[in-house]
C-alpha cells in the first residue's frame, strides 16, 4: 500500500503543479498538498476530477500536419509485432509460455472490464470520458504486454520498444527529465538531444484532440499537459509534443514523419513492461499512430498477421500501413466497424456461432454493441464471450467431445481434455458469423491449445468469470486471429480478414 500511496502522491502533485501553472518538474514545495486524497486511493477521481479522464471522443480534420508526398504514400510502410517472450529472451517451454499468456490474458480482459464499467457508470455527457475504475485489484506480475513494436523517435533517432495496443489512442514514451519513470531495460527519450523536438501549444489542433485528457491548466500560449490513466492505477503525465517518427517503407526506404506524442515525465504503475519505453496506440482516436499517419498514406488503414504462438518466440508478426496493408486474392471477408461504448475499440457485430457445423441458439442480446458488444483486440491472447454465449458454446463442445475432462492451468478455469487416448484427436469445428454475412472458421489450433502434454484446452473463456460486469465486451483475442491477415480500414470503417501464412508474409 505504501508504494501505491507514493504513486498517488506523485500523480496528485503533478496534477496540482499544472493547475497552478508550474512546470512539471518544479514540485518540491508542493509535497504537503492534497492530504485528504492521498489517504484513500478510491478518492483519486474526486481529487483530480475530469483530468483523470482518458480517450477523447472528439475528432478533427483529416490530419494534424497536412498532406505529404513521401514514398510512404505510394508504397505504404512496414513494421513488426515482437512477442514479449522473444524480446525478453524467454527460455520457457511452449507449454509454460502458454500458461503465462493465459494469466496475462485474464488480466488484460479484467482491465478492459474495468474500463467498460467506468464508461457505463459515467454515461452522462459531462462524465462520459471518465475512464478507469481505480479500485480494481490487480497483480503486477500478470501485467505484461503480448506484443511490442520498435519505435524510432527524434533526430537523431532514439529506438524504443513500445507496447502495441489496438485499444489505446495515444503514442507516448518516457522522457527525461523524469519526475518518476518506471524501471525499464529500454531507452528513455531525451528531448534536448533531438533537433526536431518541440512542445505543442495549448491552442493547437493536436492539443484540443486530447479532450478531457488535457489537464485544466492548459491555456493559450502555454504547453499542452496531458494525463492518461489506466485501469490498474497506472498513469502517464507529461507534455504533448511534436517530433519525427522514422519508419521503413515496404521498399526499404526510411522516412521521417511528424507525429504528436506524449512526452511522459511521470509514468508509474503495473501496466508498463520492463521491456518497453512506452505505448504505440493503434486505436480509433485522433492521436493514435494510424490516425496521424493518414496524412501520408493513400488509405487510413493498417493490417497485421499474427504468427502461430509456438513460432512467435523466434519470428515476428508483420504490421503494414497504408497501401501495403491492403488484402488481395480470394477468401477476403469483411465486416463493418461499429460504434460502441468505448470510442477507441474496434467493435464488430456477431450474428451467430456454429459448433460442429450446427448453429447455436444464442440470444441476440449477447452481442449487442450498444451495451457491451464484441471487439477485435491485439493484446488479449484468449477469446472471451459474454456469459450466456460462453455457456452455450462450452456445453455444446462438451456434448460433442467424449474425452475425459481434466483441470486446466492454474490461471483457468478453461474447458480441458486429456487426449492421451486419442493422440490425433480433432476438435469439432467452430465458426463465428459477422454482420455483412462474413464468417470466420479458424483451424482448431486457433481455438484449442495444448497447455501440457496430452492436455488440450478450449482457448475461449467466460468474460464474467473475471469479475467483469455486463458492460464488458466479448473479446476476439490474438490466438483466434493467428495466421489470419487482419485489415483495419478506418476510412471505410470496416475490418477484413483472410487466411494467410503469416511468417511468410
Q: Which residues are catalytic?
A: 165, 377
> Whose CA is closest to 428, among 438, 437, 417?
417
What separation in angstroms does the CA of 104 have from each of 46, 57, 141, 240, 380?
A: 30, 28, 9, 30, 8
Residues in the chain: 505
Nine cell digits for residue 119: 464508461
Residue 496 CA to residue 498 CA, distance in Å, equals 7
**8 Å CB contact between 152 and 259:** no
**8 Å CB contact between 295 and 67:** yes
- Backbone φ and ψ for 320, nearest 5 degrees, come out as -125, 145
**8 Å CB contact between 260 and 197:** no
Task: Compute, in degrees rounded to 10, the torsion defined by CA atoms 87, 89, 91, 93.
Answer: 20
**8 Å CB contact between 92 and 102:** no
> Whose CA is closest to 151, among 253, 277, 320, 317?
277
Residue 113 CA to residue 124 CA, distance in Å, equals 19
**Residue that is written with C-alpha cell 504547453 in the block:** 223
> Whose CA is closest to 505, among 313, 306, 367, 322?
306
First CA to last CA distance, the chain: 47
Residue 144 CA to residue 419 CA, distance in Å, equals 31
Burial class (CB in 10 A: 0-12, 13-18, 19+), 96: middle
- How many C-beta atoms lie closer than 10 Å to residue 124's C-beta? 7
Residue 482 CA to residue 384 CA, distance in Å, equals 16
**Residue that is written with C-alpha cell 521503413 in the block:** 248
Amino acid at each position: 500500500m505504501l508504494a501505491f500511496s507514493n504513486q498517488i502522491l506523485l500523480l496528485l502533485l503533478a496534477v496540482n503543479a499544472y493547475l497552478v501553472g508550474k512546470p512539471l518538474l518544479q514540485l518540491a514545495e508542493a509535497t504537503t498538498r492534497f492530504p485528504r486524497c492521498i489517504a484513500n486511493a478510491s478518492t483519486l477521481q474526486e481529487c483530480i476530477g475530469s483530468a483523470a479522464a482518458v480517450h477523447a471522443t472528439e475528432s478533427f480534420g483529416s490530419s494534424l500536419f497536412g498532406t505529404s508526398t513521401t514514398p510512404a504514400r505510394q508504397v505504404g510502410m512496414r513494421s513488426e509485432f515482437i512477442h514479449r517472450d522473444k524480446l525478453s529472451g524467454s527460455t520457457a517451454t511452449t507449454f509454460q509460455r502458454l500458461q503465462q499468456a493465459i494469466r496475462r490474458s485474464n488480466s488484460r480482459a479484467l482491465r478492459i472490464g474495468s474500463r467498460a464499467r467506468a464508461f457505463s457508470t459515467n454515461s452522462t455527457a459531462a462524465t462520459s470520458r471518465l475512464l478507469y475504475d481505480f479500485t480494481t485489484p490487480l497483480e503486477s506480475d500478470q501485467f505484461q504486454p503480448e506484443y511490442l513494436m520498435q519505435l524510432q523517435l527524434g533526430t537523431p533517432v532514439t529506438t524504443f520498444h513500445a507496447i502495441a495496443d489496438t485499444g489505446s489512442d495515444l503514442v507516448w514514451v518516457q522522457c527525461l527529465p523524469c519526475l518518476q519513470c518506471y524501471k525499464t531495460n529500454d531507452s528513455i527519450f531525451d528531448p534536448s538531444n533531438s533537433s526536431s523536438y518541440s512542445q505543442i501549444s495549448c491552442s493547437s489542433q493536436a492539443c484540443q484532440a486530447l479532450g478531457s485528457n488535457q489537464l485544466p491548466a492548459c491555456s493559450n500560449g502555454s504547453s499542452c499537459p496531458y494525463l492518461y490513466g489506466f485501469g490498474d492505477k497506472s498513469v502517464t503525465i507529461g507534455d504533448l509534443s511534436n517530433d519525427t517518427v522514422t519508419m521503413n517503407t515496404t521498399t526499404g526506404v526510411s522516412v521521417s514523419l511528424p507525429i504528436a506524442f506524449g512526452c511522459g515525465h511521470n509514468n508509474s504503475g503495473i501496466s508498463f513492461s520492463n521491456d518497453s519505453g512506452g505505448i504505440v496506440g493503434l486505436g480509433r482516436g485522433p492521436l493514435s499512430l494510424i490516425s496521424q499517419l493518414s496524412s501520408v498514406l493513400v488509405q487510413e488503414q493498417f493490417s497485421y498477421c499474427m504468427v502461430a504462438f509456438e513460432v512467435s518466440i523466434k519470428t515476428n508478426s508483420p504490421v503494414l500501413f497504408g497501401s501495403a496493408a491492403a488484402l488481395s486474392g480470394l477468401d477476403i471477408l469483411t465486416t463493418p466497424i461499429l460504434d460502441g461504448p468505448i470510442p477507441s475499440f474496434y467493435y464488430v457485430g456477431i450474428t451467430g456461432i456454429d459448433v460442429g457445423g450446427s448453429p447455436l441458439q444464442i440470444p441476440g442480446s449477447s452481442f449487442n454493441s450498444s451495451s457491451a458488444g464484441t471487439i477485435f483486440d491485439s493484446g488479449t491472447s484468449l477469446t472471451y464471450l459474454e456469459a450466456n454465449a460462453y455457456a452455450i458454446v462450452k456445453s455444446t463442445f462438451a456434448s460433442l467431445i467424449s474425452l475425459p475432462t481434466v483441470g486446466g492451468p492454474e490461471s483457468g478455469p478453461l474447458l480441458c481434455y486429456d487426449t492421451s487416448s486419442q493422440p490425433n484427436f480433432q476438435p469439432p469445428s467452430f465458426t463465428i458469423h459477422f454482420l455483412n454475412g462474413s464468417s470466420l472458421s479458424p483451424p482448431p489450433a486457433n481455438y484449442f491449445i495444448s497447455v501440457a502434454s496430452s492436455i488440450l484446452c478450449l482457448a475461449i473463456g467466460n468474460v464474467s468469470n473475471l469479475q467483469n460486469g455486463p458492460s464488458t465486451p466479448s473479446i476476439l483475442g490474438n490466438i483466434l486471429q493467428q495466421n489470419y491477415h487482419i485489415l483495419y480500414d478506418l476510412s471505410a470503417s470496416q475490418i477484413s480478414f483472410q487466411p494467410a501464412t503469416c511468417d511468410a508474409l
